[in-house]
Amino acid sequence: MIVIIDYGMGNLRSVEKAIKFLGKNVKVTDNTRFINVAKKIILPGVGHFGKAVLELKKRKIFDILLKKINEGIPFLGICLGMQVLFEKSQEAQNINGLGIIKGEVKKFNLKNLIVPHMGWNKVRVIERAKKPILFKGIKDNSFFYFAHSYYCHPKEKDVVLAETNYGIKFCSAINKKNIWAVQFHPEKSQNVGLRLLQNFINL
């Protein structure tokens, strides 16, 4: 069973609809019993880093997420769901994230571009990602849909799977063992987004 974590941070139903469109059973839940038996976990989200972490803890999901990820369950983080994998964020200085990916989430500081970064932008898989499983069958520099004011800055450069340019070059996808995460919204990115979700399902 594929579980989409419900922690009150928006956009859950769009992801659910996309997975169902691909013909797969999926459950949107914050019930720890279902999360514990999930075969794959998706953590989407649009919202505030600090509120997201506090909600995960309030619903007793935070520690279970750490446990399941450490057990090797395939995990996909989307947008805010990518950011909470990191140690901390400039959006909430006193609240720590899951800390699975070393690094920080930083705010765009751009003079000539609008923040938030919203709309379609290119995603380039980096050269050292020789087997980009998540992007299988997707042309490099394909356009995906973004909506964010903060971007992830990993300390470990070998986790960076893809990059995007918006005033600066930033990490738009990561992979570390069973962990996959993207800053963009595949559920809003039409055919290429559906292909990416199908690739995750096929893992």
Torsional sign, CA 12, 17, 22, 24 = positive
Q: Which residue has the tokens 């292909």?
A: 195
Query: Domain extents for the chain?
Result: 2-201
Q: Find residue 101's DSSP bridge partners.
A: 86
**Residue 3 main-chain phi, psi, to 5 deg:** -110, 130
pLDDT at 111: 86
Tell me which H or E stretch contains 174.
strand 168-176
Q: Supply the residues annotated as catalytic.
A: 79, 185, 187
CATH class of 2-201: alpha beta
Q: Express each pLDDT in 25-78 by its tens digit.
A: 999 999 999 999 999 999 998 999 999 999 999 999 999 999 999 999 999 999
Cα 49 to its chain centre, rounded Å, is 13
Q: Calculate the average pLDDT of the chain.
A: 94
User: Regarding beta strands 75-78 and 117-125, do their DSSP bridges make them parallel or antiparallel, or are they unpaired?
Assistant: unpaired
pTM: 0.96
pLDDT at 172: 98
